[in-house]
Structure 1
């Protein structure tokens, strides 16, 4: 079994991944900014790790010991039209969702490369391949994450290190409900915000995403991209087949 470090394991997908991998017999190192939130997880280690803080990452990796698999899951979202989203929020999303993922990958990669084995698993989203209105800042951070992950797959593959990108659609983790919203009273973008449930489509559970992550880790030849669930597969297939000369729309909205 593998030694797996998970970022953002205090709730949602990250917590479900920790439970699933521990049940499959893997050695799980669960991490979060608030390690007390991990207290009830039955895992090998529970560590403090803030992916936006280099010292925090260094301390956690030193305490974790040898890591075979990194599940890079920590991330957040906001709701705002790009016309009005505070640029500080966009920077925060990139620091957390994109650069944070790269920071931890940089921490584990030297040992994986020297050992000739390892696996980087990035929890992305269908929004790493298509866009949804009002979630553009989050989507941009995931597009950038997927560019980083695919580049890493090319750079580290011949050292024996695998890279996988897990792509769920909407997940019933509560993350969207807790997202910051930047819309004014009588906002002109309110119809788009109201249509988000339709645009996001059917949800999958954190446990379904966790099973896909665990199956990817256990796969003898893990794929680069792993859509999670029929809704994600349908949306990504539609995006791939759509013409490139106009914006892609999952659904039409009555403005």
Structure 2
């Protein structure tokens, strides 16, 4: 069984991944900015790790001991039109969703490279390969994450390190409900915001995504990209065959 460090394990997908992997007998190191939120998880270690803080990352990696797998899950979203989204919110999302993932990877890669083995599993999104209006900043962080992960697959595969991107669509994790919404009174984009439930499509559970992550970790030769659930697979297949000369939407938009 593998020793797996999970970022953002306090709720939603990260919590479900911790429970799923522990149930399969893996040594799970669950991490979160507030480790007290991990108290009820059936895992081997519960550590404080803030992916935006280099000292926090370094301390958690030291305390974790040998790490076979990193599941990079920590992330947040926001709801706003690009015309008016606060740029400090966009910067915050990149720091958390994208640079935070790279910060943790930089911490574990030297030991993995020396051993000649290791796995990096990134919880991405269908929005790493397509866009949804009003969630553009989140999508941009996931497109960037996918670029980093694919680069890592090329650079570190030489050293025996495997890289995978798990791509869910809409998940009933509460992340969408927790996302900050930046809309003014009588905002010209309010009608578009109302279209979001239809655009996000069919919802899957955090447990379904967790099972996909666990299956990926246990595969001898996992693919680079793995859709999590039938809805994600259908949307990403449609995106592959869609013409490149116009924006892609999985469903018609009343806008």
**Structure 1 length-normalised TM:** 0.99
Separation of aligned partners in 2, 1:218 and 1:195: 38
Q: Which residue number in structure 1 is paired with residue 51 of structure 2?
A: 51
Q: Distance in 1 between matches of 2:249 and 2:219?
A: 34
Aligned partner of residue 158 in structure 2, secondary structure: helix
CA deviations on 1:196-239 (whole Å, 9 max, x unpaired) are 01000001100000000000000011111010111101111111
| 2:154 equivalent to 1:154 | yes
Name the CA distance, whole Å, in 2 between partners of 1:67 and 1:198: 40
Structure 1 position 185, deviation (Å): 1.4
What root-mean-square deviation, in Å, do the aligned CA atoms of Structure 1 and Structure 2 show? 0.6
Following superposition, the deviation at residue 252 of structure 1 comes to 2.0
> What residue in structure 2 maps to residue 227 of structure 1?
227
Q: Which is worse superposed, 232-241 or 67-76? A: 232-241
1:139 maps to which residue?
139
The 2-side partners of 1:233 and 1:23 are apart by 26
Q: CA deviation at 1:254?
A: 2.1
**Structure 2, unaligned stretches of length 5 or more?**
none
Tell me the equivalent position of 2:214.
214
Q: In the alignment, what sits opposite 1:248? A: 248
Q: Distance in 1 between matches of 2:235 and 2:35?
A: 36
Between the aligned partners of 1:158 and 1:139, the Cα distance in structure 2 is: 29
1:191 and 2:199 are equivalent in the alignment = no
**Counterpart-to-counterpart distance in 2, 1:154 and 1:30:** 28
Provide the C-alpha distance between the structure 1 equivalents of 2:216 and 2:254, rounded to a whole number of angstroms: 39
Distance in structure 1 (CA, Å) of the matches to 2:13 and 2:254 = 33
Match of 1:164 in 2: 164
- Work out the CA distance in 2 between the residues paired with 1:76 and 1:204: 18
Match of 1:181 in 2: 181
Distance 1:191 1:204 in 2: 25
Structure 1 position 165, deviation (Å): 0.2
Instruction: Tell which deviates more after alignment, 65-74 or 182-191.
Output: 182-191
Return the alpha-carbon distance in structure 2 between the equivalents of residues 192 and 114 of structure 1: 50
SS of 1:17's equivalent in the other structure is helix
Superposed displacement of residue 253, structure 1:
2.2
Q: Distance in 2 between matches of 1:169 and 1:254?
A: 21
- What is the alpha-carbon distance in structure 1 between the residues aligned to residue 158 and residue 167 of structure 2? 24
Counterpart position of 2:2: 2
Distance in 2 (CA, whole Å) between partners of 1:253 and 1:91 is 28
SS at match of 2:175: coil
The residue that corresponds to 1:72 in the other structure is 72
Once residues 41 and 233 of structure 2 are traced to their aligned partners in structure 1, the CA distance between those partners, rounded to angstroms, is 31
Query: Across the two proteins, how many residue pairs are aligned to each other?
Result: 255
CA distance in 2, matches of 1:234, 1:152: 26
